[in-house]
Every structure is written in structure tokens, then in C-alpha cells.
Amino acid sequence: MRGWRGLGNTMRACWLVSKDGRHQPIHLAHLTCVFIGRSQETKITDKKCSRQQVQLKADYNKGYVLVKQLGINPSNVNSEDVGKDKEVKLKPGQILHIVNQLYPYTIQFAEESSEIKKLSPKRSYEEISSNSNSSTLNKYIKTEHSSPRDLERKKEKTKQRQTVTQVNSAEMSEKKDFQRMWNQGLKVTMQDPKFQIYKDDTVVVIKDKYPKARFHWLVLPLEPISSLKAVRENHLNLLQHMNKVGEKLVQECQDSKALKFRLGYHAIPSMSHLHLHVISQDFESPCLKTKKHWNSFNTDYFLESKDVLEMMEQDGKVTVKDGVSELLKITLTCHVCRQQLSTIPQLKEHLKKHFP
């Protein structure tokens, strides 16, 4: 039994410690997924924090915890966004903010004496302060045997954990169902006449349900094409038509003289069914909330329609560069003057100078 138990007469333990002392440390078992988010255990009530905001998996051999962001709003390790469905390593001394730079945590690895374990197999841990270190953690191991009342409490806690596990499993299933519904949402919306603002024999135009600017339309082909990856040489005429329809929308917009527009596609779209974005460059919208939203339209993650057409004419297909998803994480930068901003609220306030 070498490996995570280590050598000699000690075995390691890992704890997730709240730096603001909101609750007792949470034990992270070796290579076991633990979900942290809005719950009674963490005492986090912020609705921007998902009930399963992050997944943590401690690796006792390697001395770090893998952090995977599951929630929509950003989680951070040392002020860097983790990214939706991405994993990063959390090492001792680094700080994990559960959501929106809030609710700071650190991890602590500690050695547990096997001699103490033999003397007291039913030990428990008292509350540990946020600045505890590995040696401090060991001071809280109780060596006396548990009382009958303690045993009853532990049984009740075990039942509660089992209930939480069942609830978490149900929530995960619901989340997957929701993601599938969300992914297919465009196909439903584009077929609903009340959302259509233009339609011909080839394409349909709808308003984006969650616009990221004053004017934000989507041009979708009636032909079932999942994304740019599915586009082939024979689709060139279709893409050219989609571009012409997009340009016509801009020309007929009353504010087209005052505002600039861009036409393009996301390199890796979040929703199934090919769609061309036609979006004004003011980016004035309450639906623009995250760094991901901004960078998806203001980096090379946004493929200009004219560039896509040029690739199709030359190569008969559209090529997306490797690692393009990393562009969603870069620093917020104004698309007009290139000034860098720290947060979306700061960026929106800054944009008022360019778009009063």
C-alpha cells in the first residue's frame, strides 16, 4: 500500500480551507470528486454561484487539487479565470475564488499519524482557522474514543451526505438535459414565426435572444448545418447569400450611419446550427456580462464573414486555429482605443466615452 499512503507510518490528508472562516474545513479524499458551490455546507448563498460551481479532485501523490469550473460565472485560481468546463491545478499557497473573485479558499495537505489512527479510529476534527498550516491541522485530531452521542451524530451526517450525493446526481442530470436543450435552442427559435424578422427560400433571420449590443441579429440557413466545421465546398453560395442578407440588415437599420457593424461567426459556437452574427459595435446590452462574452466578439475568436468566404473560395473549407478557445480568457481590451480594463463594469463605463 505505497502510493498515496506514502512511506513509513503516515498517510496524507487534504483539506479545503475557507480563508474568511465561513465554515469548517472540507475534507478532500484522494482522487475523489467533490462539488463545491452554493450550499449549507459552504454557507454561500450568492445566486451567481451554482450549486455545483466547481469540481475538486485531490491528488495526494502529486500534492495538488484539480479544479474544474462547472458553473456559468467565472471561478478563479490566483486571479486567473479557470474557464467553463476547463481544469487547472490548485497548489498549496494558491487561492481559489469560487465565483466572481469571491469566497477565497486554500488547500492544506497534512500528515496523519497511523499510530493516532490506531488509537482512535473514530476521531473527528474541530474547526480550523483560515490561516492553518499542515502542522496546525494535526493538533485538531482527537485521540479519545467517540461517545454514543458522537456516533449518532456521525450516522446522521452520513445520511445527510448520502442525500446530498443523490441531490447532486439529480442536479447533474438536469444540468446535462438543460445543456442539450440550450444547444438545440436555435433550431426551435428559428422555426417560430414570431421570432423571424426575415425569411426566404434559403435563410431565416432572428433577433438574438440574449443580444450583446443594441442591434444583434442571427442569419441561419434553412439547411441543417451544425457549424463551420460541417461546411463544404458546395456551401459557398449559401455563405455568400447569408453575407448579403446580413449586409442588407445593416443597410436598412436606421442607426447604421451612427454605428459600425461586424458580420462573422464564432470559431467554436456554443449552440448547434450554423449562424452568422450581425452585431453593432456599441456593445450596449445588459446581456453582455462576462469576459467570455466580450472576447468572443473582440478577438480572433470572431471570424469575419469576408475572411470565411475567402477561405471557402481558396480551400473549400473553413479552418479554425488550434487553441483559439484560450482567447476567451485574455485581458479585456477596448476594441476602439485598445485600453485594457480589469472588469466588465469598468469596460462598460469606458465604452460610454466612445458611444455616448
What amino acid positions are annotated as catalytic residues? 275
17 by DSSP, 3-state: which? strand
Query: Which H or E element spans position 58?
Result: strand 54-59
What distance in Å separates the CA atoms of residue 213 and residue 86, rounded to the nearest whole number? 27
Would you say 42 and 35 are in contact if contact means Cβ atoms under 8 Å apart? no
What distance in Å separates the CA atoms of residue 292 and residue 212, rounded to the nearest whole number? 12
Hey, what long-range contacts does 122-130 have (CB within 8 A, 24 or more apart)? 122/146, 122/150, 122/151, 122/154, 124/150, 124/154, 125/24, 125/25, 125/27, 126/24, 127/24, 127/25, 128/15, 128/17, 128/24, 128/25, 129/21, 130/17, 130/18, 130/19, 130/20, 130/21, 130/106
Give the residue among 2, 24, 25, 22 at the shortest CA–CA distance from 12.
Answer: 2
